[in-house]
Amino acid sequence: MLWVNLRRGLIVSAIFFVLLGLAYPLATTGVGQALFDDRANGSLGKNGSTLIGQQWKGAQWFQGRPDGGDPTATGGSNLGPRSKELVDLYKKRAVALEKQGIKPTPDLVAASGSGIDPDISPRAAYAQVDTVAAARHLPKDRVHALVADRVHGPQWGFLGASHVNVLELNEALSGL
């Protein structure tokens, strides 16, 4: 009787291993690759993933949120709204932006909650147009139009706010 039960248990385990350990993961991976290739592969652009914010050096690039340069170090700073250290940090960032000729906006001064937000508001992108255009010796209206073409509206027309993906914008900028 023991051997019969053991044999049944091994057969059921083998069946579930094949179904849930091999067939299901292969099927979901296949469907993901067939129908959602870009998303299934991490939404990769020429310079990295459009889902992870990156740091861009120099006035010739649009700047994203002032998150850290390490995409594996996610999370906020734990500094509260009354923190003097946080206020001083925001002032320091605002002064640095003004020195570059960029009018500070909240998302260019404040880091995101995740620490890896790849998007900025259209207002923050437009605030950088003059600086980027001057650094690249491009007409302002051409750079402004580039930003306008990269503004993503709310998801399904009503969820969230309009945003600009900084990686997509800088990749388009490098193509000019």
Q: What is the pLDDT of residues 46-80, one digit of tens each?
A: 677 777 778 888 899 999 988 766 666 677 777 88
pLDDT of residue 79: 83
What number of residues does the chain have?
176
What percent of the chain shows pLDDT beyond 70?
91
| 162 pLDDT more than 70 | yes
For residues 142 and 148, what is the distance between their CA atoms, to the nearest angstrom? 10
Which residue, 110, 78, 79, 75, is CA-closest to 92?
Answer: 110
The pLDDT, as a whole number, for residue 37 is: 73
In the chain, the percentage of residues whose pLDDT exceeds 90 is: 59
Q: Is the pLDDT of residue 149 over 90?
A: yes
Give the model's pLDDT for residue 19.
95
H-helix segments, 36-139: 37-40, 84-99, 106-109, 122-126, 129-136
pLDDT at 76: 72
Q: Pick 84 or 112 by higher pLDDT.
A: 84
Q: pLDDT tens, 17-38?
A: 999 999 999 999 898 888 887 6
Q: State the pTM of this model.
A: 0.75
Residue 33 makes CB contacts below 8 A (sequence gap 6+) with 40, 41
| 146 membership: H or E segment, kind and range | helix 140-149
Distance between CA atoms of 93 and 95, rounded to whole angstroms? Answer: 5
**Residue 79: how many CB atoms within 10 A of its CB?**
13
**First and final CA of the chain: distance in angstroms?**
77
* CA distances from residue 124 to 41, 127, 175 in whole angstroms, order as listed: 29, 5, 21
pLDDT per position as a tens digit, 108-143: 998 888 878 889 999 999 999 999 999 999 999 999
Distance CA 99, CA 34 (A): 48
**Is the pLDDT reported for residue 169 higher than 70?**
yes
Nearest to 170 by CA among 119, 134, 123, 127: 119
